Amino acid sequence: MNQHIRVLVVDDSAYIRKVVREMLERSPDIEVVGIARDGVEALDQCERLHPDVVTSDLIMPGIDGIEFIRRQMAKQPVPIVIVSIAAESSERVLSGLDAGAIDFVQKPTALATDKVFDVAEDLLAKVIAAARAPLARIPLTFPDGPLPAALAFQNRYSVIVIGVSTGGPQGLKAIVPRLPRDFPLPVAIVLHMPIGYTEAYARRLDEISAVQVMEARDGEAVRPGVVLIAPAGRHLTFRRNADGTITTQLDVRPLDTPHRPSIDVLFQSAADVYGERVLGVVMTGMGVDGREGAAWIKARGGVVLTESEETCVVYGMPRSVVEAGLSDEAIPLDRLAATIVERV
């Protein structure tokens, strides 16, 4: 990178502040320009230092992390990466993302140094990605309510599969709540999240959606108008049974994928089971998960949409699909739900 990424580290633990600083400064591209012990100090330091990225704990005395994020985003948006203890409630982390944080990294509960440094690579990748994310792409407002039901169901597709990573918890809120109540297809989603978060996220998304949203369970019938989110730690695939019904399968295998659940694994399974009747969507995220899966969908005659660069928090996964010549259409986030409904 051409210039240092200037980072403010916010945590009420002096030890964690020191460790996070050490982890970040392993990269020659990153400079920690300040530290803050609570939300009040953090707001003051942001105003004084204008950091490129902030890492923030959530549980702090006085103004906690969620309130700090909320106030900072209202005052002067800045990319914020939550650094939370795994034992903290998933609800709290999701509230931090709702308030405007870009991503989160789990710090281990055991404060043994070697354990803490295990997350260094993840933290560095996410801070560098956050620094590159234009703030206009952090979607804080979402259109209200579902789109009107389509007048005619074209019967072109049998399933919709969506893959998303960094920026996904916010991005999916611009899509799933927009699906009409009588949406005629099942939807399956892989969202890269640590174990313990997908169930709470599915519950939150269900509360604001007209369609039913749930964490996928093993062996369940795939139903129209139900949105399934793959549970963190297990791949989601489909299985066509002897009687023609299609059910879900959850498995830790394959073990050699960079992510579990993997978008590639879901997409490949959809192409194998549904053939040409698959509509795949690759949204914001780091890396190339989804590219191989998109190739499977295309090879079977299905269609692949990508989120366009202008609205991606991180234009990594969609770029990999576009550059491989596998995207049928690139669509900005605010038009993605309408495009899906129109195509269906």
One of 12, 289, 308, 327 is an active-site residue; which one? Answer: 289
Diameter of the chain by CA atoms? 66
- DSSP of 134-163: -GGGS------SPPPPPSS-----SEEEEE
288: tokens are 């190339």
Classify residue 237 by burial, with Cβ atoms within 10 Å: 0-12, 13-18, 19+. buried
Out of 84, 90, 158, 165, the active site residue is 165
DSSP conformation class of 4: P
328 in catalytic set: no
Question: What string of DSSP letters covers 185-227?
Answer: S-EEEEE---TTSHHHHHHHHHHT-SSEEEE--TTPBP-TTEE
Told to judge if 235 belongs to the known catalytic residues of this protein, a careful annotator would answer no
* Distances in whole angstroms, Cα of residue 62 to Cα of each of 41, 68, 84: 10, 10, 17
Q: How many CB atoms are located within 10 Å of the residue 26 CB?
A: 12
Is 165 known to be catalytic? yes
Distance CA 27, CA 29 (A): 5
Q: Are 54 and 7 in contact (CB under 8 A)?
A: yes
DSSP calls for 82-123: EEEETTS-HHHHHHHHHHT--EEEEEPSS--HHHHHTTHHHH
> Position 234: which residue type?
R
Of the candidates 103, 192, 209, 264, the residue annotated as catalytic is 192
Q: Which residues are catalytic?
A: 165, 192, 289
